[in-house]
Each structure stands twice: as structure tokens, then as C-alpha cells.
Chain A
Amino acid sequence: MTSTSKRNADIAGLQGQLESAGYVAEAALAATLLLTLDLGRPLLVEGDAGVGKTEIAKAFATVRSARLIRLQCYEGLDVHAAMYEWNYQRQLLAIKLLEQDDRPLAAKEKDIFSETYLLKRPLLEAISCDESPVLLIDEVDRADEAFEAFLLELLSDFQISIPELGTVDAITRPLVIITSNGTRELSDALRRRCLYQFIEYPDFAKELAIVKIKAPQAEEQLARQVVEFVQQVRRMELQKTPGIAETLDWTAALLRMGITQISSEGSDLIFDTLSALIKTREDHTGFTPEVVARIAATC
């Protein structure tokens, strides 16, 4: 029983810490993060755009007061951009300088291919930190399939082999958080190695808590109305459903316009701020002032 209550206390504690770092997390997410620490496995986070996948890593790094190392994936990302690269210019300069040197050739070569001339990219950086950092591999689905293979090797052994230098072993194991938007199916091998968390759009209570933390200058009533409005918009069939970032942007826009409450009377003012919430042309055409007034009336 004691271990049960201790675990519950740990989870509540982590939730509190995350909240003070500006991230509202459900108990389930906090429990998973604790498990990630225990098992030392990477955490794969999926969910729609704008539900706060990346923020988890940021908040978790803050909580653990660890460094956050971020690798943003994109199509065509290769080893040189992700792991390491030699600093050729400096190497060439060094060769010219070493011409006067009368040391044997092998010694010179060793000098040129030493760590001084190595440019560390995020993945190498992450395994050579003195204190365990949080490594965020963002939008891994954008990178090519080939990159996943590199990643798998790194995540299983936590070592990187550099032909000229040898194998670099991890000093400390980074805590790895991988996010994916589902633009490409990830390999089963990668999925199997990770713990998995799916983040959904927040419900009313959670989103309200987020708005209160991130936009404290908004009055209680406005915050409630904003969240209610956005929740209704999410239920509509839109091409781009607004995420939490959009909610916060829109709140800021409303505050800047001096709007203190959402009602059907001031709906044309609200209509002007909607570009913070609705992000495609097709969705905009669906949002006539009448629609806005109708939603506003129910808030």
C-alpha cells in the first residue's frame, strides 16, 4: 500500500511541478513521464498539431532543470546535420600550420581528426553532456525512413561511431522525447522501442487551466468564454482545427482589441480577431459574421 500511495504522491508532485513550469498535464501523462524515467526508454508522443506535444519536452526539461537539446526533423535530414560534422575550414588551416611542424605524419593526422575539429550536432551533443539532458526529436515523421535507422541505433546503444575517431559512448543517457504528426507512418521497430502517449485536444477544464496559466491578464469570465468558443469551433468540421496555441493567440488578440467579453452584440469586433484562430481560406469562408454571432451567443 505504501508504495501505491508513494507513486500517487510522485505523480501528483510531478503534475504540480509541470504546472508551475507552465504545462497542464493529466495524471496519465505524468505517470508515463515517471515511467519514462524509470525504464530509461524514449517516449513517443503523437497527436494533432497544436495540442502541446513539443511543450511537454520543454516543461519536463524545466522541471528537471536539465538542458533541452532539440533536433527538428525535416525531409532530407542527414547524419551530418543530426549527429556530427568535421570542421573542414579549421582542419585545412591546421594542415597549413602543421606544415612547419616536424612531428611524424601519424601524429599530425591524429591531431587533425581530434575532437577539437568536431562540430557536435544535437544527437552527439545529447550523449556527451555531463548531466543527463532532455533530447527532443521533433516531428520525426518529416525525416526520411533512412534517418529512423540511425535513430534506432542511437536509441538502442546510446553510442555513435565516428569512423575517424572511434565510438563515442554516452556519458549520461539523455531522456528522449520524440514527437510525430503522423504525416508518415513510423517504423514498427521505432514504435516498439518507445513508450507511447497520444495527446488529444484538451477538454474544457484543462484548456481553461491552460489559458489561466498562460494568459493571466484575461478575466475569469473572458477566459471561460474564449475556451467555450474554441471548444465549439473544434466540434465544427474544419480543415485546420485550432490548437492550444491558437486559443492563446486569440485570447491575446481579444485583449489587445480591448474586448472583455464575448457576446453576440460585439460579434463584428470578434470577427476581426478570428484570423488568430482560423487558419485556412476554406475555413474562413465558413465563418460568416452570423456564424460567429451564433456561437458567441451560446458562450
Chain B
Amino acid sequence: MLSIAAAERSDVGTLLLTRLAGFTAFLHENGYGVSAADSVDVLDVASRTGVLNQAVLRWNLKALLCNRFEEWQRFDALFDAYFLPPNKSLFVRRQPEAGTEDVTTAGSDDRAQESRAAEEQASFDDSNATGGGASREENLSSTDFSGLNQAEQARKVEALMRRLARRLKHLKLRRESRSQRGRRLDLQSTIRQSVASGGTPLRLAWKTRRRVRPRLVLLLDVSRSMNAWSFFYLRLARALCNELADVHCFIFHTRVTSVSEALRDPDPWRAQERLNVLSVGWAGGTRIGECLQDFNREQGARLVHSRTGVIIVSDGYDTGETSLLADALGTLRRRARRMVWFNPLLNQPDFTPVAGGMQTAMPYLDLLAPGADLAAIERVLPQLIESLA
């Protein structure tokens, strides 16, 4: 049995300890939400199970260090990469870092924070490179995001989004909660308070309808056909992200990417940098159906619930299969509370929803709104709020 106290005395023991403790740092660098405190638990677990018992050690560390399904799926590969001989090079490369540090401070917090931003970008990049699959329609040239920080229009956009956010904050649920005053008597609470006055209800308690902020999920089409509006909508999204906490923003073209974190970055230039990294494929082709299906599979269960309003911004020009789009929209519609589609082409006088994607989508939508510019969105705001309620 590996006892921590006994192991510290021998060199082999120290090496073993360092290596076990380094595993937490290794996972952290791979995007796991683990901290230095977890290495103590790792040693505790190892001392209980014994380090020679590979299967049990693996299962137990898996249960200990994974927090969610994605991490659960990737764990076995990482465990192999770290502990098993064939990937020795990986271990050697990392060893100096883990070795020079004290066991309990491996992956200390400040270092962790420095590397975190970079990690996130890198992992986004990785998932893009492996998940989306190469496509002839992708646009691999970089996009200039400096337009995102221009002051023109920014103030108007912010004002409009603030108005939308304020209205959304006042949406109310049917569910009630106690409050200082209200329209309905909270009988339970009233009786509870009347105990203090010998059963005479001197003080009344009230109920009022609870406020709720719906979660918003924005799916922005940034394919070539949407080029004229992509920045405009990204700006709207950023203003909205800054106003409301529960907004999640994704861009899609031939694949879907989360940009919420980048948009929320308080430093505008860093936000720009991060968007640059995320925007590979910007203004390329469109595969709405596939993108929505990926979104459903990867984010749907986590993000979309019965209080979620899904807002899709797209012109509906889709090069993918329409049946795929219909399936994906159907699944999304069942999960979400409301589904709104903004189509910038809608204002044009001779517009009919002939684009294949648009026709497929019509039956699933709660609201199809025009949205070529700020004025158009402002006009449709009351309808939007009503449909999100």
C-alpha cells in the first residue's frame, strides 16, 4: 500500500507522489475544472486504492476529477496519455514543470489564471479543427474584427439592447413567491406569523408573481451571404451579453462556435483577438441544418431549457439538406420555450421566403422578424418581447 507518510521518505515515493499530483495539473491544462486542492484528494484516493491497481485507480480518479459528461468522455484517453508508457514523450515534456514544484502547489492558481485564457482559445481551436471536419466551403482567411469596436452605431445599439434587457427583466412567471406587498394573500405565511400574536392574524403576508429572466440563446449566421449584417448582429449580441447575464451567443457557418466568452471580455482589444481565433470560416458557406444539429448535440441539453428563447439570425440560404434542418429545428423547438428567426432580407418589398432553409423553418417558428437595421429591430421589439414571454 502506498501510504503518503511512508512514501515521502524514499525517492521512489517522492517521484510517485509528484507524478500523481502532476496529473491534476495535466488535466487542468486540458481544460478540466480541477484545482491544486484536488491533488491532495488524488493522493488520498491513491493511498486507499493502491497505485498498482490500474483499473480501480482509473475509475476512482475518473469519479473524483470529472465534473461533467465531456470530461468523463475524454478522461480515459488523458489517463492513458499521462500514465501509460507509449506516450512517454508527453510525460517527459511535462515532467520538469511538475517536478520542480512542491506537490501541494502544483498548478498554483496564478499560473493557472495566466494560462487559462490561452487554454480556452486553444481548446476552441482544437475542437474546431477536429470536430467540424474539413470542408471545401470553409473560408480560412482571417477576418478583420476591428469594426466591432467602432463608436458609430455602438451607442444606439447599446441603448436599444438596454431597453430590450429592461423589458425582459420585467417578464413574470405564473409561479408566486412571498413579497412585502402583493395582490394575493399568502395564507401559509399569514398563519405562520399569526402564531406570534396568539392566532390572530394581525400581520398579513402577500404573494406576488415571480420575476424571471428568460435565458437567451443567439445563433448568428456569419456565412458569406450574411456578410453585410454579421458585424451588426455581433455588435447587438455583445451589447445584449453586457446587459443580461444569461445570454449565450454562437456563430455558425459550416460549423457552430461559442463566442459568448469572447464577447463578454471587458477588454475590447482582447475580445477582438479572441474573436479572430474563433472566426475561422467566417463568411464561408452555410450548413444551417448540420450546425443546428451539432448545437443540439453538444450544447442543447445544457443550454436550452423550458425558459430559453432561441433567436436565430440567418437569411435561410442553406447548402445542406433541408430534412436535416427540419429535424434539428424540430428538436430545438421542443426543448426551447420560444423560437424567433431574424431574417435581414425580410424588409425587401419583393421578399418571399423562397430560400430553401427559410421554407423549411417556417412551421417551427414563433416569430419571423425582419432585421436589416436597427430601426427594423426596434419596430419588432414589442413583438419579440411578447413572443419571448
A residues sitting closer than 8 Å to B (CB atoms) are: 1-4, 7-8, 11, 27-28, 31-32, 35, 38-39, 43, 46, 75-76, 80, 86, 88, 91-92, 95-96, 99, 112, 182-185, 188, 191-192, 195-198
Contacts and interface: CB of A to CB of B under 8 A. Distances in A.
A192 B175 CA distance: 30
Nearest to B41: A39
B183 interface: no
Nearest to B331: A239
B50 A7 contact: yes
A27 B192 contact: no
Contacts of A38: 48
A281 B365 CA distance: 21
11 contacts: A4-B49, A4-B50, A7-B56, A35-B64, A39-B45, A43-B63, A86-B195, A88-B188, A183-B301, A195-B63, A196-B63
Contacts of A35: 45, 48-49, 60, 63-64
B268 interface: no
A131 B96 CA distance: 49
B1 interface: yes
Contacts of B175: 75-76
Q: Please name the 7 residue pairs, one residue from A and one from B, whose CB atoms are nearest each other, closest first.
A: A3-B1, A191-B67, A28-B59, A32-B63, A4-B50, A31-B59, A195-B63
Interface string B66-98: 111100100000000000000000000000000
Interface residues of B, number: 35
A3 B66 CA distance: 25
Interface string B202-213: 000000000000
B56 A95 contact: no
B56 A8 contact: yes
Given A95-B195, A182-B302, A27 B52 contact: no
Nearest to B55: A27
B302 A185 contact: yes
A141 B53 CA distance: 35
A7 B199 CA distance: 60
- Count chain A CB atoms within 10 A of each CB in B44, B59, B175, B306 and give the residue with the most: B59
B198 interface: yes
Nearest to B306: A183
Contacts of A2: 1
A71 B175 CA distance: 21
A38 to B, nearest CB: 6
Contacts of A183: 301, 305-306
B380 interface: no
Given A7-B53, A196-B66, 8 more contacts: A7-B50, A39-B41, A39-B45, A88-B195, A99-B198, A191-B67, A196-B62, A196-B63
B192 A188 contact: no
Interface in B119-170: none
Given A31-B59, A32-B63, A184 B305 contact: yes
Contact of B44 (A8, A39, A80): A39
B258 to A, nearest CB: 13
B289 to A, nearest CB: 14
Interface string B18-41: 000000000000000100000001
B33 A188 contact: yes
A165 to B, nearest CB: 14
A2 B199 CA distance: 67
A96 B59 CA distance: 60
B372 interface: no
Contact of B49 (A7, A91, A99, A112): A7
Contact of A188 (B67, B188, B199): B67
Interface string B254-270: 00000000000000000
B102 to A, nearest CB: 23
Given A39-B44, A183-B305, A32 B195 contact: no
Nearest to B334: A239
Contacts of A99: 198
A3 B72 contact: no
Contacts of A184: 305
B195 A92 contact: yes
Contact of A86 (B44, B64, B192): B192
Nearest to B191: A88
Given A31-B56, A182-B301, A196-B66, A95 B198 contact: yes
B303 interface: yes
A119 to B, nearest CB: 12
Nearest to B49: A7
Contact of A3 (B50, B59, B198): B50
A4 B48 CA distance: 9
Contacts of A112: 195
A38 B46 CA distance: 12
A288 to B, nearest CB: 19
Nearest to A191: B67
Contacts of A31: 49, 56, 59-60, 63
